Structure formats: C-alpha cells, structure tokens
A and B are shown apart, each in its own frame.
Chain A
Amino acid sequence: MIINKVRKVNQEEEKTKKNTVASDKMIGKWVKCEKCKEIIYKEELHQNLSVCPYCGKHFRLSSRRRILQIADENTFQEIAGDILTKDTLNFDGYLKKVEALKQKTNLKEAVTCGICKIEGEKAVLVVMDGNFLMGSMGSAVGERITIAIETAIQKKLPLVIFCVSGGARMQEGMISLMQMAKTSSAIKKLHDEGLLYISVLTDPTTGGVTASFASLADIILAEPDALIGFAGPRVIEQTIKQQLPEGFQKSEFLLEHGFIDKIVERKDIKQMISKLIRYHK
C-alpha cells in the first residue's frame, strides 16, 4: 500500500516535471538562442532562469516556472482555479483546441492566480501564460484576474501581475472585449482602497491586455527586450506601409517614451518586487 502511494507520488512528480519542460517548447537536450545563435544545454538554461548565459536574452517562461521563480517555496496557494473556459459564440473547434492545450500544458487556462509570499511579503500573484492561446484574455481569464483583484481588496494585500498576452481572445468575441472593462473596474476599486499594484510586462504584452490592467499599475516593470504595445507591429506596418524603426515597441522604447517605470532583469525581479512591497507598507 505504502509502496503504491510512494509510486503514485513519484509518478505525479514525474508528470509535473515533464509538463514543466514541455511548456517551454524545447525539444531534446539542447536549445538554440534565437538572438545570439549559441547552442545552450537546456538544463543550464533553466538553471539560469531561462536567460541565455551568452547574450542575456530572456526566453519566454511558462507560468509554472514563473511562479517557482517568484513565490517563496511552498507558499503559493491557487485561487479561482475552478473558473473554466466558456464558449459563448459556439465557435467551431474552440473547446476542442482548449482541451488539447490543457493536455499539452497541464494548465486549465491562460492565467494562474494565487496568494503567496515573495521574500516573506504576502501578496496576490497573477501569472499569465503565453503557451495557452497566446495568453489571450477571454471570459475565464478576465474572471480569474477579477477574482484575484477582489481577493487583494478583501485581504488588503498588494497585487502583482505578470503579463504576457496577445490581447483579448478572438474566439469569445465581445465577451472578451468586456473583460477589459471588468478587470479595469476592479483595478479602479483596488486603487481607491490605497493598495499597491505592480505589473510586470513580459514578451509579448499587446492588445486588450496592454489597453487594460497591464497599463494601470502604480509601478510598471518590464523584462528587457520584451515586445509591448497596443497594435501589433504587422498591423501597423500594413496600415502605414513603411518599415518600423529598430527597437520599436520594445521595453527600452517604452522606457524612453515614459510608459514604464523600470526594466528589470529576471534575476533581480523577485528582490525588486519584495523591496517595492516593503516600501509601501
């Protein structure tokens, strides 16, 4: 009996491990850095917080790895995890696609929310995941984030949101657009209560997420070289029919134009967040 239980635990551990690796979309033991073209041993990359040890490129991160990097060990307690995808438009193939992604990523939706400690500081932590329909915001993502914001209000906790998103989720039509109003209204309440909200913009943060809660924080941080904007670069190029300047819509561009507070490297982000929380106590 006990042996069976141990075996089961081990199997589950193996499964989690497998999915963590799978969600970073890497095949084999090696991965090539798109920026400097160096071949990196995968294990080395992960030990370096998924940052290229040669050129410093920040690889995209699954929500699971992000939570491991930000929350103190064993402190993350998920909230709103039972809020699931709705298919209001009866969009052909949508739920099937979601189901396949659930299997592939071991996630239930494109955002994971919870309460945790960050270097000992209690906070509500919201982490989006680009592996799940590009982190797009449909009804479930909007609902989960709103519940997280309301939890922060109720428990008087600071709120930290890691953003990565292609924007509002097309497959749910106007219901998705309205999630921008829902989440932003909740953020308004949080501000009225005098609570701290930090958003961290990671590659890429665009569309309806940029045009709602991502841009409404007291302090907006960004990872280096992340694409951040409202309209996608391709749409802009097609509209104005000219090539976009080098570095357009990157973190450094936004910093220069006054739309983010600070660019923070991944290795420093946890400490920066906890420090900011302490400054607001």
Chain B
Amino acid sequence: MQVKTAWEKVQIARQTDRPKTSDYIEALFDDFIELHGDRNFGDDKAIIGGIGILENIPVTVIGEQKGKNAKENIDRNFGMPEPEGYRKALRLMKQAEKFNRPIITFIDTPGAYPGIGAEERGQGEAIARNIMEMAGLKVPIICIVIGEGSSGGALAIGVGDRIVMLENAIYSILSPEGFASILYKDSTKAKEAAQTMKITAQDLKELNIIDHIIKESKEGIQNNFEKVIMELKKYIIKNIKELEKLGTNQLLVERYEKYRKIY
C-alpha cells in the first residue's frame, strides 16, 4: 500500500464529506441525548455534548462539530469554538465526574475562534481551565482525533488517559499554512511545513504523544465507516474497562505521568 504524505493527509483530514463528530455519535452510541449551554453566556454550536449509551453503560460525549456544507459550517462556525463552547464542555465533564461516567471526546477543529467576543470572554482562560480540570477528573477520559486537531483549541478537550487518532487525521500546534507563514515567511510552503511538523498519526505515535491509531480503508473512510466504528467501539470498551480497573488514584497518577514525561 502506498503511504500517504503528510500534506495528502491534511487534505483528507479536512474533507467536507469526511465523517464528523455527529456521525460518530450516531454510529457509536444508542439513544444520545444532547445537552446545551454553559449556564453562563450561551450555547456554542461548534461543540456538541451530551449523554449516550455504549453497550449498556452511559457515557458523556463531547466533540467539536464541523459542518458538511457551507450552511452547516456557518451554523457551526467551521468547528471553531468560543469560550462558552469550552465552558459547556467543562460543565458536562464535571457532570460526568459526579455521576461516575467515562468521558469520550471527538477532536475536529481548525482551532479556537480568534474573534473580539472570544477574547472579551476569555478564550485563553477557558482553554487553560479545561486543560487543568481534565488533568484531575476522576473518571476515564478517551480522546479521539477524527479529522483536524489544531492547536490549543483541540487540546482544550484533548487531555485524557488514551489519545487515539484516525489513520488520516492530523494533530498539530497550528495549521501547516500558519506554520509556513510564520517560520518560512511563505504560506505557500505549507506542504513542506506539513512534512516537517510531525502531525500524522504515525509520527505522533512514534513521539509517544498518542496511544493508538484506528485504520481507515484504502477507498476512504466514507466508504467503509462501519469498519472504523467497529474497531473504535471495541477499543473504547476495552480501554474503559482497563482504566476503571485502575481505581481513581492510579488513574490520575498515570494520567499525570503521561504528560509529565513529554520533554
């Protein structure tokens, strides 16, 4: 099989017809109930959250939601959350902790939204708080990068016990275009940047930043989504069981160590 270049993967990860968070939720969980709002400012449609049933266990599900067409994308702000989106996510994660539910997050964002309102309402603080609180939540957390994971906007729902990536997903400090324009002073060198940045699932597994890669079919994930879902479901159930066996103390010790060793 021909190995795809990092830049090819960037294109695949961003495909508008690639399955989005809502597709994963529908395929993985029975009877999902969406819950809204941060109880403070509003309801950010760039993040979906709620409770679903996975093999008879209730789990809290949170994910960044991109649209599949222009209208949906405007509605979802292209999957770029504002502070109230991250605060909704945190509210639901705290709720999960209270009721001892595992947390599953889906990461798919070009980044946190850079806007006037977002800054006025503390975008930096919202991301920082999520990262810190996720480090201490007393329930298992599994984070899955399904498409584009970019910058602090991805990490804000991405601190957990298991970090999983789809085979053609990417996870990066910023977009290759942004990287090229800052470091090469030339945004047309994004292809070269993508290669250098180590943003593919394979690169990040090697760097020990992620734990597991879910294979996609050669014909594209759109044509064999059921297989991906089966594999993902198996992985999530197995790992929730493993993590629950650890007990709270050991779970948190291992989560701390997971990030502590990245140097």
**Interfacial residues, chain A to chain B (CB-CB below 8 A):** 86, 88-89, 91-92, 139-140, 142-143, 146, 168, 170-171, 173-182, 184-189, 192, 207-208, 210-216, 229-232, 235-236, 239-240, 244-245, 248-249, 257-259
Determine the chain A residues whose CB is within 8 A of the CB of B152 once the complex forms.
Answer: 168, 177, 180, 207-208, 211-212, 230
- One of B53-61, B114-122, B232-240 contacting the partner: B114-122
Report which residue of A171, A215, A240 has the largest number of chain B beta carbons within 10 angstroms of its beta carbon: A215
CB of A213 within 8 A of CB of B262, answer no
Complex Cα–Cα for A122 and B124 (A): 30
Complex Cα–Cα for A88 and B196 (A): 10
Report which residue of A139, A170, A235 has the largest number of chain B beta carbons within 10 angstroms of its beta carbon: A170
CB of A89 within 8 A of CB of B199, answer no
Determine the chain B residues whose CB is within 8 A of the CB of A142 once the complex forms.
Answer: 262-263
Complex Cα–Cα for A30 and B94 (A): 56
Write the chain A residue with the least CB distance to B128: A215
CB of A185 within 8 A of CB of B182, answer no
CB of B198 within 8 A of CB of A89, answer yes
CB of B128 within 8 A of CB of A139, answer no
CB of A89 within 8 A of CB of B196, answer yes
Determine the chain A residues whose CB is within 8 A of the CB of B263 once the complex forms.
Answer: 86, 139-140, 142-143, 175
Which 9 A-B residue pairs are closest in the complex by CB-CB distance? Answer: A231-B114, A210-B124, A230-B124, A185-B135, A211-B127, A215-B128, A230-B123, A184-B132, A211-B152
Determine the chain A residues whose CB is within 8 A of the CB of B262 once the complex forms.
Answer: 139, 142, 175, 178-179, 181-182
Complex Cα–Cα for A143 and B135 (A): 17
Report which residue of B171, B255, B263 has the largest number of chain A beta carbons within 10 angstroms of its beta carbon: B263
Given A146-B260, A170-B173, A211-B112, 9 additional A-B pairs, CB 8 A: A89-B196, A168-B173, A175-B209, A188-B133, A211-B127, A229-B124, A239-B115, A240-B114, A258-B122
CB of A181 within 8 A of CB of B259, answer yes
CB of A231 within 8 A of CB of B118, answer yes
- Would you mind naming 24 contact pairs between A and B with Cβ atoms under 8 Å apart? A92-B196, A139-B262, A168-B152, A174-B197, A175-B263, A176-B173, A177-B172, A180-B131, A181-B155, A181-B158, A182-B259, A186-B260, A208-B151, A211-B112, A211-B127, A211-B156, A212-B132, A215-B125, A215-B128, A230-B112, A231-B123, A235-B114, A240-B115, A258-B122
Check B204 for interface membership: any CB of A closer than 8 A: yes
- Take A211-B152, A230-B119 as given contacts and tell me if A177 and B128 are in contact as well, using a CB distance cutoff of 8 Å: no
CB of B128 within 8 A of CB of A214, answer yes
CB of A170 within 8 A of CB of B128, answer no
- Take A174-B172, A175-B207, A230-B123 as given contacts and tell me if A212 and B256 are in contact as well, using a CB distance cutoff of 8 Å: no
- Take A86-B263, A173-B173, A173-B198 as given contacts and tell me if A185 and B256 are in contact as well, using a CB distance cutoff of 8 Å: yes
- Take A89-B197, A211-B152, A244-B116 as given contacts and tell me if A170 and B132 are in contact as well, using a CB distance cutoff of 8 Å: no
Check B179 for interface membership: any CB of A closer than 8 A: yes
Restricting to B203-217, which residues have a CB under 8 Å from any CB of A?
Answer: 204, 207, 209
Check B136 for interface membership: any CB of A closer than 8 A: yes
Determine the chain A residues whose CB is within 8 A of the CB of B121 once the complex forms.
Answer: 257
Write the chain B residue with the least CB distance to A237: B114
CB of A188 within 8 A of CB of B173, answer no
Determine the chain B residues whose CB is within 8 A of the CB of A174 once the complex forms.
Answer: 171-173, 197-199, 204, 207, 209
